[in-house]
Structure 1
């Protein structure tokens, strides 16, 4: 697992890092860290259900992540899970104290634990005390600097407790509120103030208080948030948002305020300058389609939310543009060969082309009769756009240059067109339909049907990157492979049992008795040796095409908050009348159980909705990763793992001291080989930047096995380093000296495309700096003009006279 895109916030509380430059946000059952320098990272840990609260230690090294009862102790340094713990009841909040404790509130009890690492004990969570007082569920916590904490409750009371045994304070109850206490805070170095829900704020949903600046931030269900200065309660600022504010956090300096909104939006606002520091929002609903750019630098996604097409940067993990011209669900997206044009098809009857240079919709393709487009394909040249309709069973073709519909409309399918794919090397279009056929249309022969492949059922079709093979996913869970030139089947893979479809809460039979799932999306790897398949299941499978066997299964989620995750139903949800989900669904009519219609994903009339886990689209990147649009969001899996220590061919003499000794002796090749065997990124970078790059003989003396590793490391360094010429010189020398040997390596393609992606990104960034030249010229001209107007000092006049004499 590499990163999670397309979702920035779901529920729970936000936290700032210790330095205030990053926001820690819960996204479903995962944790994402958004660096406000426009990068994001999702921790490789996950809980079993949706996260409800997160507590970060004062030094920023540890985090306690709690879902509906289970807790994880996570190291924010190594990104590893250090300890598992279960509170057995839902937890509402968790907060660290300044002196090495933390308090957890569950039900009407506050539990104080010793912080991990303070005592050398095996158990990381050591219960110290239990505090009772509130009559209803607790909602919030705040600590003072001298071991005292306050707890708010739903019974409209606030309780102050002493963490130590004080003679004058055991507990103290404060009342007077007329609704649920949302937030309670102590002033700095004082026990005489704390502010809760008061006044006319009858829709208060979130609050935060900065003790140094005495600023109180309050957010409301209507989207309004206020800044007040305490203790006078003077209004500093007020702003209206479009969504309900669910969580508020303030960074250490008090300059930036983070807002988590209920519709999946994350904002960081600088209140003094009244400007946004960070603003990200995912799709309102599930993602339906994705596509990689040819260099793997960008990902475009389309959603079921009615209009959005979003483009994401794979390096930063952030969305940089959103197109909202569509008026219905986006069913398919694609990049052209240039990588700067996005094409999307929608159920609103339009196919639109978007320009990534000017960020505009420059082409809109329509059909003579209104049609719902469910599939899309763009040919290798980027000049021909095709889309299939699910209501008229036709395939439409347009010219990208003119935007006009070609005279030829491809008809012949007897069912909705489910998938389209152009051959990468020939002018042939493959189309699959619900009529159980795949048809190959030859553009050179007036778009006549070249071949028809009969199938038992059909769903998705894709070409191998070399165009010499077709993979077709069918509804019975099989993947069949065909030779497009001879129209003969070359192999098949049965994946019905690999998907392992889970049992829904409303199913009356076990998962084994259910109809097995099918693959709804299939794609080839960059080298064509493997195929990736996923569908209505929590698993994604990678198969070897030649051996026709399963290589690996990825479990995309372990979040039990989704439906169809488990094989057996939880016995705690079973009653004498059956499952609680079934009883709840049929409680209103008394005529039995309401069974959802086939194909209906969400019943809008139901009182509660539990989303079903599914994979809607899969794509391999041209580089060393692949992505999937799922119920959780856009998941990215990569071979470039960020492990802290992952040695290669390790030996006793491979140590940092011996590597630096080789550098002092100027044994450059030996130092590089030892550094890559130890495989620590910082040490590899130190060695590489010490070796003189102007000596190409060093590149020529490297063993072949380390050349590809060094090229991959150069590609990763170019992503972040500012030494562009230095690393590009290394890459040029390696390719010049080892180019002939690298041509025979099948795995080098992904490394070369990663190198091209890094260079292209820097080229794009530097090409945008032309407008700075005008500012520089203006500043130079202005300085010259001021220099001419400045009166000369007497000593300047003497100097000028001396210069004239000389």
Structure 2
């Protein structure tokens, strides 16, 4: 089979699923046989171009109906002398441009135009990276690898393209009667371009002229331009470089809008959405396990990445303040990162190089501990000085997990030696107690109140311990809840494979009533600790491209000898074996294709108790409670109805109306009732609320801060409730901790937004004050400017002057800044 036929078959297989797309769809696919890609150009979507080596092949795309010969070669374009790198179409699909490694760009007509068959553009000194047509025009932009941009202007509009004269009818009839000539016609028309056409060919033809050439700011030869994208409607050009920097320019004036570095890897691909609001970048470099990323849960954006580690990161944790992140790595270091300045301000190391497998920090944030998987030791450091305080020895196997008691200064360490040791941090770090289990211990976790310890072992059990008395208080058999799938290369069934699986991560809920468990499975289980029963299972992924997703393998992949993935089908063939050895130069060139196994590596509950996060093979997943659409009444009786609540509110019985609304537990109704209370009545209503409903009101206030703009009103409610009922709430602080943290998080978010606005207004006030003092006065060249120190000395004095001056000078209205 020759290359052309094979290429057509390859494209037909790849595009078989695309044959039912309607007109107007824009598709871009990548073929392993071609250099660049093939396009469905708008608006017809009936033709696509493939570039192979230095040749461009145009095919007719199939329609909605199945056809015997779906892909027909229409034209073959010859022009570049080297491999092609990029393609772009005009908006009406009349022409397309092809960039090449020979530093030239070729413009071809998709149809036979009388005044445009081909056109060659030079002017570059390096490989062409991208070429873009202007919107509804033949004007062209070409970008080369040496960061040069050429702007080409065409003397002809798209409507000025003239079709070729019709062929002689007798000639067409004779061509159809000749079989050989008819077969030659099926191979497609060939168009050969010349770099320097003669004068007769260029007469009355489309002409291009270079009107401008720009150069991007470069840091050196190593920082080549690697990718580019252009949004025609907004005239926005995005270019990426090998150093991870990207530029935003406005064309055709080449105005720099923004420049930013997003990575230390080469930016290999850029794409802009249809509205021009979002830009996607793809980096060819791959540095899995070497980075610590911090995400904003509100915006779902990663706002900082730390890359100081040189090996896999095994554990990450926050301090109690929330402004320091600690990470342990296999490179033998534990690093502390500051979220104020975004820097690595402390690095902890061991006397002998060790691979750290787990990490823990105490509630005060002063003691940092890390466990080693090769020396079986636990290292203790001081956060303030960075000094190594002690090395705890005693385990006879790799240390798998560490956890500090949130209330007492006690450290629990788990090991593969089937023990859990409790270390007293106040008594010279001596062993306080040793808990012996029946299997290797994988993970330990303290309850938020510090009164219970959960332990997960290799036998699939979760045991609960009273660590003060070293007594087991309960256990959960979780092996059957894992529901492990069967991998393609497994020789046993999933039921038998599940006997060797277990939970590898545990996390208590914020109130300590439930516990999350995950491991080598696609399910995350949540158990009730008191009843020791399974409450719910969460399926983290439905992606069947991952391994171990199905309990039973597909019968089509099974033979009498087992799975087809285990069979070496190509042994002894000319192309090598199906599963080649490393270093093989025949066959698939040692290409390795593997399916990552689905698993859950870590689980953490949010301090507010409203959500929890899971790091999995699929990515970072966040699950959150959404009770707004659920009818969940509280102590509901027959008299609690929306009409009775409105009637009570109309009678100005605010306390009773709030209690009735909390019983009905509809968020919009609660908001309506609370916002109807006058501000001068808040103190009286708060003092008359029962203790049970104070918690409900505080919980509503925490959620209301997220969506409401009545900040002062809700802050007054929160202040009065905490001042009047603070003593009673403190006695139930452990139970109310998630709600208080949720309230604090909501207030903190608004504080940050308002503080930024206030800081911005300070400078506006200073400017307005300086202008008001200069109004009506002739400013001399030697006159000094207003002293900033005097302006900052008294903010009240500034506001007074601003109000008086701006209101009195020229009878102008008073200035108000928001």
TM over 0.5: yes
2:802 corresponding residue in structure 1: none
For structure 2, the residue ranges without an aligned partner over 5 or more in a row are 1-11, 65-71, 105-126, 155-207, 267-285, 583-588, 781-807, 812-818
| Equivalent residue runs for 1:724-739 within 5 Å | 724-735=711-722
Aligned to 1:716: 703
Equivalent residue number for residue 458 of structure 1 = 441
Q: Which moved more, 1:549-558 or 1:755-764?
A: 755-764
Residue 302 of structure 2: aligned partner = 319
Aligned to 2:135: 211
1:701-744 residue CA offsets vs partner (Å, 9 max, x unmatched): 88998866654443234235554323322333455567658976
Summarize deviations over 1:48-87 as a string: whole Å, max 9, x none: xxxxxxxxxxxxxxxxxxxxx9xxxxxxxxxxxxxxxxx9
Measured after TM superposition, the shift of residue 529 of structure 1 is 1.1
Summarize the Cα distance change of 1:191–1:351 in structure 2 as closer, same or farther, 3 Å threshold: closer
Over 3 Å counting, the alpha-carbon distance change for 1:767 and 1:709 in structure 2 is same
2:357 alignment counterpart: 374
C-alpha distance in 1 between matches for 2:753 and 2:810: 49
What does residue range 245-284 of structure 1 map to in structure 2 within 5 Å?
Answer: 250=231, 253-255=234-236, 269=248, 271=250, 274-276=256-258
The answer (yes or no) to whether the contact 1:718–1:724 under 8 Å persists in 2 is: yes
Q: Secondary structure at the match of 1:444?
A: coil
Shift of 1:434: 1.3
Contact 2:580 / 2:590 at 8 angstroms: preserved in 1? no
Count of residue pairs brought into register by the alignment:
640
**Displacement after TM superposition at 1:662 (Å):** 9.8
Instruction: Give the aligned partner of residue 403 of structure 1.
Output: 386
Q: Which has the higher contact order (CA 8 A, sep 6+)?
A: 1
Matched, 1:347 2:246: no
2:615 to 629, 645, 659: 629
SS in 1 for 2:426: helix
**Separation in 2, partners of 1:152, 1:717:** 55
Cα 1:215–1:414 change in 2 (3 A) is farther
Equivalent in the alignment of 2:89: 185
CA-to-aligned-CA distance 1:93-142 (integer Å, 9 cap, x gap): 99886xxx75789999xxxxxxxxxxxxxxxxxxxxxxxxxx99994334
Alpha-carbon distance between aligned partners in 1 of 2:245 and 2:810, rounded to the nearest angstrom: 66
Counterpart CA distance in 2 for 1:454 and 1:781 is: 73
Q: Is this contact kept in 1: 2:360–2:368, CA < 8 A? A: yes
- The SS at the match of 1:176 is strand
Contact 1:304 1:330 survives alignment (8 Å): no
1:512-533, Cα deviation, whole Å (9 max, x unpaired): 2224311111111111111111
Work out which of the residue numbers 490, 496, 501 in structure 2 matches 1:517: 501
Select between 340-349 and 740-749 the one with higher mean Cα deviation: 740-749
Shift of 1:161: 8.4
Alignment partner for residue 40 of structure 2, among 141, 148, 151?
141
Following superposition of structure 1 onto structure 2, how do residues 736-775 of structure 1 map, counting pairs within 5 Å?
Answer: 740=728, 748-766=736-754, 772=760, 775=763
Structure 1 residue matching 2:391: 3-state secondary structure = coil
1:247 & 1:800 partners in 2: Cα distance?
A: 54
User: How far apart, in 2, do the equivalents of 1:676 and 1:258 lie?
Assistant: 58
Instruction: Indicate the residue corresponding to 2:201 in structure 1.
Output: none
CA–CA distance in 2 between the matches of 1:244 and 1:554?
45
Distance 2:259 2:739 in 1: 34
* 2:77 aligned to which of 176, 199, 211: 176
After superposition, residues 296-315 of structure 1 pair within 5 angstroms as 305-315=288-298
Unaligned stretches of 5+ in structure 1? 1-68, 70-86, 109-134, 165-170, 285-302, 597-603, 793-798
SS of residue in 2 equivalent to 1:695? helix
| Separation in 2, partners of 1:244, 1:505 | 42
- Look up the match of 2:344: 361
Residues 175 and 680 of structure 1, relative CA distance in 2, 3 Å threshold: farther
Q: 1:558 aligns with which of 538, 542, 550?
A: 542
Shift of 1:207: 8.2
User: For the residues of structure 2 that align with 1:223 and 1:91, how far apart are their CA atoms?
Assistant: 39
Q: Does 1:695 align with 2:594?
A: no
What is the CA RMSD across the aligned residues, in angstroms?
A: 5.4
Specify which of 599, 603, 613 is matched with residue 598 of structure 2: 613
The answer as to whether partners of 1:217 and 1:248 remain within 8 angstroms in 2 is: no
Question: Match of 1:538?
Answer: 522
Q: Which moved more, 1:535-544 or 1:663-672?
A: 663-672
SS at match of 1:581: helix
Q: 1:283 to 1:726 in 2, by over 3 A?
A: farther
Structure 1 distance, partners of 2:496, 2:810, is 104
Mapped partners of 2:129, 2:553: distance in 1 = 34
Counterpart residue number, 2:625: 639
More helix by share: 2
d(CA) in 2 for partners of 1:783, 1:474: 72
Deviations along 1:304-337, one digit per CA (max 9) or x if unpaired, are 8353122222222222222222221111122222
Alignment partners' CA distance in 1, 2:383 and 2:769: 45
Greater Cα shift, 661-670 or 344-353: 661-670
For residues 319 and 439 of structure 1, do their structure 2 counterparts lie closer, same or farther at Cα, with a shift above 3 Å needed?
Answer: same
Match of 1:414 among 383, 393, 396: 396
| Cα pair distance change 1:526/1:191, threshold 3 Å | closer
Contact 1:151 1:184 survives alignment (8 Å): no
The Cα of 1:195 is off from its aligned counterpart by 4.0
Preserved contact between residue 99 and residue 129 of structure 2 (Cα < 8 Å): no
**Distance in 2 separating the partners of 1:497 and 1:652:** 44
CA gap 1:726/1:245 in 2 versus in 1, 3 angstroms:
farther
* Closer, same or farther: CA 619–262 of 1 in aligned 2, 3 Å: farther
- Mark the CA change 1:223 to 1:239 in structure 2 (over 3 Å): closer, same or farther: same
Please, what TM-score do these two structures have when normalized by structure 1? 0.65
For residue 375 of structure 1, report the CA deviation from its aligned partner.
1.4
Distance 1:441 1:726 in 2: 48
Task: Return the alpha-carbon distance in structure 1 between the equivalents of residues 378 and 492 of structure 2.
Answer: 40
Q: Following the alignment from structure 2 to structure 1, what is the Cα–Cα distance between the partners of residues 661 and 245?
A: 44
- Find the aligned partners of 2:644 and 2:57 in 1 and give their Cα distance: 65
Q: Given the superposition, is the C-alpha separation of residues 151 and 664 from structure 1 closer, same or farther in structure 2, using an over 3 Å criterion?
A: farther
**Pair 1:448–1:506, CA change in 2 (3 A):** same
Q: Cα distance 1:699–1:447, how it changes in 2: closer, same or farther (>3 A)? A: closer
Partner SS state of residue 604, structure 2: strand
Bigger-Rg structure (1/2): 2
